[in-house]
């Protein structure tokens, strides 16, 4: 099927049409009143660019090194769970499609595909693994060793979901727990219930604190990234504990509603961390101009969560590839129109704050 990426709005509508209603709601929803989910998008759009003119912009270099891995684009696929809700091939299709676009893929803990099988789809493209810290440290350590052996290059610890948020919309149109979404890499391989399942209400699923982070940094042979940070002081503390990178994220507004948007805090976190760690950002990035703004304000790379899932549901691996390529092409055009020929030229003065 042809993937319409003229803008991502058309693709989103097509994805909504082809998905089962409960899959669509799981993908689209935010927590509570869904305020943050919408504001993330609006916040990038509200920032104004201050383009430079009369610069050499014929040859554009979008290459970047992410924790030592060279990639051709600073746009990564964010960790999202349960890809079998969106396509029969699940995470394998996402892994293959994003590799074809040259994009780094962060695989989620919550999926029905083995880490080894995802790795096989990646060829030479790098992949990272996202972890929800499980209380059983021995089993967590064994999973990390499997990731290293399979060729994963970094570990992303998600810190912003110790308890699940609540989505009235997902409660009304629930995903029913089933084999096809079993979290096969998790300890005990529980049959998947999404975070919004009423059975999970009030349960501290992933209690994680700074000592756990220190343990993880020591135990893990891969560099550790902390995802879900929204404050400069927290970012600094994570780096003091040994984190090599920070992902500024509010989880796409899916757990705590009415947080600050990521566009509002990327500069604060980048300033706090300075040169001591890399900083990335996600949440509401839908346009090349959003990416240019994020990089200008201090992010080394960005991640997108929902858009690759729209591509996945409409056209499998080819859909994921089309979405990532589309965003990359838009970013290049925005760079050229801003007078920037490489990522180093994206500096804070390009954005009016
Ligand atoms: C369907 C879905 C599932 C997600 N699952 C995870 C997950 O398993 N682990 C995680 O750290 N973040 C998860 N996220 C959050 C994303 O990694 C990312 O922070 C967010 O989607 C970025 O916002 P965007 O969708 O507006 O691009 C999920 C997001 C969505 C939409």
Question: What is the rounded distance in angstroms from the CA atom of residue 336 to the CA atom of residue 57?
Answer: 5
Question: Ligand 1, closest atom to CA 247?
Answer: 19
| Atom 13 in ligand 1: residue holding the nearest Cα | 80
- Which protein residues are within 6 Å of ligand 1, measured from CB? 26-27, 40, 78-81, 108, 110, 130, 158, 227, 249, 251-252, 254, 282-285, 304-306
Question: What is the rounded distance in angstroms from the CA atom of residue 332 to the CA atom of residue 293?
Answer: 13
Please provide the DSSP assignment of 283-330 as one string: SS--SHHHHHHHHHTT-SEEEESHHHHHHHHHHHHHHHHHHHHHHHHH
Question: What is the rounded distance in angstroms from the CA atom of residue 119 to the CA atom of residue 141?
Answer: 19
Rounded to the nearest whole angstrom, what is the distance from the C-alpha of residue 305 to the centroid of ligand 1? 5
Burial profile 201-223: b = 16 or more Cβ within 10 angstroms, e = fewer: eeeeebebeeebbebbbeebebb
Is the pLDDT at 194 greater than 90? The verdict is no
> What is the end-to-end Cα distance of the chain in Å, rounded?
41
Rounded to the nearest whole angstrom, what is the distance from the C-alpha of residue 50 to the centroid of ligand 1? 30
Mean pLDDT for the chain?
95
Query: CA 227 → CA 78, 97, 133, 207, distances in Å?
Result: 10, 23, 12, 15
| Atom 3 in ligand 1: residue holding the nearest Cα | 80
Is the pLDDT at 292 greater than 80? The verdict is yes
Rounded to the nearest whole angstrom, what is the distance from the C-alpha of residue 78 to the centroid of ligand 1? 6
* Known catalytic residue at 87: no
pLDDT of residue 189: 72
Q: pLDDT for 23-74, tens place per residue? A: 999 999 999 999 999 999 999 999 999 999 999 999 999 999 999 999 999 9
pLDDT of residue 246: 99
Mean per-residue pLDDT for 258-272? Answer: 98
Q: Confidence class of residue 1 from pLDDT cuts 50, 70 and 90?
A: low
Q: Which of 83, 84, 87, 251 is catalytic?
A: 251
Ligand 1 pocket test, pick from 249, 263, 305, 320 with the greatest ligand atom count within 8 Å of Cβ, gives: 305
Ligand 1 pocket test, pick from 252, 302, 320 with the greatest ligand atom count within 8 Å of Cβ, gives: 252
pLDDT of residue 338: 98
Residue with tokens 């030229």: 345
In order of their start, the domains of the chain are 8-339 (3.20.20.70)
Q: pLDDT for 113-155, tens place per residue? A: 999 999 999 988 999 999 998 888 999 999 999 999 999 999 9
| β pairing state of 351-352 and 48-49 | antiparallel
Question: What is the rounded distance in angstroms from the CA atom of residue 25 to the CA atom of residue 295?
Answer: 30
Is the pLDDT at 236 greater than 80? The verdict is yes
Ligand 1 pocket test, pick from 15, 30, 36, 79 with the greatest ligand atom count within 8 Å of Cβ, gives: 79
Please provide the DSSP assignment of 108-151 as one string: -SS-SS-HHHHHHH-TTS-EEEEEPPPS-HHHHHHHHHHHHHHT
Rounded to the nearest whole angstrom, what is the distance from the C-alpha of residue 348 to the centroid of ligand 1? 27
CB atoms within 10 A of CB 34: 17
What size, in residues, is the chain?
Answer: 353
Say which range, 133-147, 255-269, 337-351, has the weakest mean pLDDT.
Answer: 133-147
Q: pLDDT for 2-12, tens place per residue? A: 677 888 999 99
Rounded to the nearest whole angstrom, what is the distance from the C-alpha of residue 79 to the centroid of ligand 1? 6
| β pairing state of 69-71 and 278-282 | unpaired
Contact at 8 Å (CB) between 54 and 339?
yes
Query: CA 349 → CA 153, 279, 344, 346, distances in Å?
Result: 33, 18, 12, 8
Mean per-residue pLDDT for 270-282? Answer: 98
Q: Helix 21-28 and helix 8-18: axis angle, to 10°? A: 140
């Amino acid at each position: 099927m042809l993937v319409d990426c003229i803008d991502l709005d058309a693709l989103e509508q097509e994805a909504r049409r082809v998905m089962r209603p409960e899959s669509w709601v799981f993908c689209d929803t935010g927590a509570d009143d869904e305020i943050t989910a919408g504001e993330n998008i609006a916040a990038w759009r509200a920032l104004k660019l201050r383009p430079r003119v009369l610069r050499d912009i014929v040859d554009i270099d979008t290459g970047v090194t992410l924790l030592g891995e060279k990639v051709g684009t600073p746009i990564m696929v964010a960790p999202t769970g349960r890809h079998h809700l969106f396509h029969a091939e699940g995470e394998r299709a996402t892994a293959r499609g994003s590799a074809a676009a040259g994009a780094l893929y962060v695989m989620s803990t919550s999926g029905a595909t083995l880490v080894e099988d995802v790795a096989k789809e990646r060829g030479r493209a790098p992949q990272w693994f996202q972890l929800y810290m499980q209380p059983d440290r021995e089993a967590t350590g064994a999973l990390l060793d499997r990731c290293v052996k399979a060729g994963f290059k970094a570990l992303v610890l998600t810190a912003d979901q110790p308890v699940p948020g609540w989505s009235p919309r997902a409660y009304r149109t629930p995903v029913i727990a089933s084999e096809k979404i079993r979290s096969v890499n998790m300890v005990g391989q529980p049959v998947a219930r999404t975070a919004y399942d009423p059975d999970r209400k009030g349960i501290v699923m992933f209690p994680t604190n700074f000592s756990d982070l220190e343990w993880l940094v020591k135990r893990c042979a891969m560099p550790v990234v902390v995802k879900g940070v929204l404050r400069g002081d927290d970012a600094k503390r994570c780096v003091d504990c040994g984190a090599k990178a920070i992902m500024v994220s509010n989880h796409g507004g899916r757990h705590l509603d009415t947080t600050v948007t990521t566009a509002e805090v990327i500069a604060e976190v980048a300033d706090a961390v300075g040169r001591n760690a890399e900083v990335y950002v996600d949440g509401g990035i839908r346009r090349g101009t959003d990416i240019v703004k994020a990089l200008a304000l201090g992010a080394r790379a960005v991640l997108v969560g929902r858009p690759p899932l729209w591509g996945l549901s409409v056209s499998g691996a080819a859909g994921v590839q089309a979405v990532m390529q589309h965003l990359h092409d838009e970013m290049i055009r925005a760079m050229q129109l801003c007078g920037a020929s490489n990522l180093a030229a994206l500096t804070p003065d390009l954005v009016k704050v």
